[in-house]
Amino acid sequence: MNKMIEFAKNTRTTDYFRDYAISEIKIAYRIMEYLAPDSIFKTEVTQTTKDLMLQKRFSAAYEALWEACEFHTTDCGSSLGSEALRNNAIELMQYLLPIYEASEKEVKEERRLKLLKELRELDSEGGR
């Protein structure tokens, strides 16, 4: 589906809604850098913020991300918009965290199996 058409179907057109949509995209991508990192294009993440997410301290993580994105109070235009953005960001973190944890567990298991295989090969080469 064309994302621009989907956007046009569901989005009102004023500066407020434009700025709000940009804020949503900025914070969503920032969260994804932590919990759904791109395998090819690596980004710098702050370990403290990542730890907050892993500890499920989503409100504190959101505050850190808000600062990292250098938002201004006018970016969302209203306290209601800011609260909705915060709630949506926390919901995204809650959605992505179990996926991230499962992925990390899978990576560790694959590494463990690879190391065990390598150890068996070394043992067989050593005449054991």
Question: Is the residue at 18 inside a domain?
Answer: yes
Cα distance between residue 128 and residue 122, in whole Å: 9
Cα 125 to Cα 92, 113, 114, 119, 121: the distances in Å are 49, 18, 17, 10, 6
Q: How many CB atoms lie under 10 A from the CB of residue 96?
A: 18
Question: Is the residue at 113 inside a domain?
Answer: no
Question: Is the residue at 127 inside a domain?
Answer: no
Question: Is the residue at 58 inside a domain?
Answer: yes
Domain range spanning residue 74? 3-97
Total tally of structural domains belonging to the chain: 1
Is 84 buried (19+), middle (13-18) or exposed (0-12) by CB count in 10 A? middle
Mean pLDDT of the region 97-120: 95
Query: Per residue in 68-102, pLDDT tens?
Result: 877 654 455 567 778 889 999 999 999 999 999 99
Tokens of 113: 């199996």
Q: Among residues 78, 89, 82, which one has the least CA distance to residue 49?
A: 89
| pTM, two decimal places | 0.77
Question: Is the residue at 62 inside a domain?
Answer: yes
Cα distance between residue 76 and residue 65, in whole Å: 15
Question: Is the residue at 118 inside a domain?
Answer: no
Question: Is the residue at 120 inside a domain?
Answer: no
Question: Is the residue at 59 inside a domain?
Answer: yes
